[in-house]
Amino acid sequence: MVDLISPNGDELHRLLRVAADMGPFFVDGMTGATSFLRHADVSALARDERVMGVGLTFFDLMGILEGPLREWYSGLMFTNEGPAHDRLRKLVSRAFSPRSVEALRGVAAQNANDRLDDVEAAGGGDLSEALALVAMHVMCALLGVPSEDVKIFGAWADALSPTFGFMDESQIAAATSAIGELLSYVEDLAERRRTDPANDLITALYAAEDEGDRLSHRELVEMVANLLVGGHDTTTSQIGCSVLTLLRHPDQMKRVREDPDLLQSAVEETIRVEPSIPAVPRTAIAEIDIAGTTLAPGSMIMLCTAAANREPGVWDEPDTFNVSRFTVKGGPALLTFGAGAHFCLGAALARMTLQETVRAVAARDNISLAEDPATLPWRVVLGRSPARLPVTA
Ligand code: HEM
């Protein structure tokens, strides 16, 4: 059995390989979930119409049967399926354009470089802590939230990130008060944008229309909170995973430093070998025959993207970290952002933020790890990442 949210970095990959050597899936003894490990099965199940998200199952199991947290969670794209999901997704996609993402490259670069300047001035420090708000700065700029409020948005998003898994009583209390405060802040901001439009996503969301349909004011406010919470810990954790991976491989970091054309491919490769999100939960809604087993309706499924991203035979030398791997077109698909109807809506924003952060780190050849990376502690909130990333500079 493999703990898919194992907080230990290298151990997760070792255990997944042991499981994959034994067969295409394993059944978790505690939850009964069937975890699929192969690239073809994960890709097929992510696109299969007989497979749905987990909706409100975790909330039911935690006993959160009513209240503001459940109300907000039940309106997310992640928890909705079919026409209700597609409607929200279509409307938000109109406003959240590739152009709006590219316009934020400077914000990401500036923030990452400012934080790294601080670390350098101090002769070293913890990169996890230093870079913790880079992604939130970018998302706040996207939404038109002033930079002095980035810290409080980071705190709300930190409190809300555990809603995607099982929470204890104190996490439920913290998330409940955070959603109240976040929604009321966004409510005020959205009201201002309605009368005083600006060049930001909230204004664009108001204008977004699909065949005469628009988001209601309430839906818009909840959507903004959806994007913030969906994008904060996932990207921040991936920054930790990606930077750690490059710092562990100084020869590969040198290649990126010397050839900026490798940047995109290098970031994809860090997301492949060390993903912040290693698996995606699903439920079968009909009988499905796959990989030599039959899933009954109602079965819980885990799509283990971390294993699929390293499957031997699919990937050439799957355990080798090679920053030019993704310069060759036509290779297998990277599955860390999911696939199918729920494919990550923020993938372009996350990639851009990661590229600028990695570019900023790679540019400084004096930064190196201050501790043995194999023994660093890991943490899991929504994404997994090294709990600290001590460097000398
Ligand atoms: C490296 C960073 C990120 C990773 C690894 C990641 C991963 C994922 C994955 C695996 C899914 C699919 C979930 C499923 O199939 O059930 C997903 C969905 C989603 N992501 Fe991300 N994500 C990242 C960054 C972001 C960002 C920056 C945003 C927002 C600005 C965002 C917003 C969303 C939303 C709204 C969905 C739900 C889409 C839907 O249900 O249609 N993500 N993400």
CB within 8 Å of 48: residues ≥ 6 apart: 288, 340
230: CA distance to ligand 1 center in Å?
6
Are β-strands 390-392 and 368-369 bridged in parallel, bridged antiparallel, or unpaired? antiparallel
Atom of ligand 1 nearest to the CA of 351: 1
- Is the pTM value of this prediction over 0.75? yes
Q: Of 1.10.630.10, 2.60.320.10, 3.40.220.10, 1.10.579.10, which CATH number belongs to 9-392? A: 1.10.630.10
pLDDT in tens, 283-297: 999 999 999 999 999
Residue ranges covered by each domain of the chain: 9-392
pLDDT in tens, 172-217: 999 999 999 999 999 999 999 988 999 999 999 988 887 888 999 9
Q: Which residues line ligand 1 (CB under 6 A)?
A: 53, 77-78, 89, 139, 226-227, 230-231, 234-235, 238, 276-277, 280, 336-338, 342, 344-346, 349-350
Task: Tell me the C-alpha distance between 303 and 325, whole Å.
Answer: 23
pLDDT in tens, 87-124: 999 999 988 888 899 999 999 999 999 999 999 999 99
Average pLDDT over residues 290-318: 97
User: In this structure, are residues 55 and 283 in contact, taking their beta carbons and an 8 Å threshold?
Assistant: yes
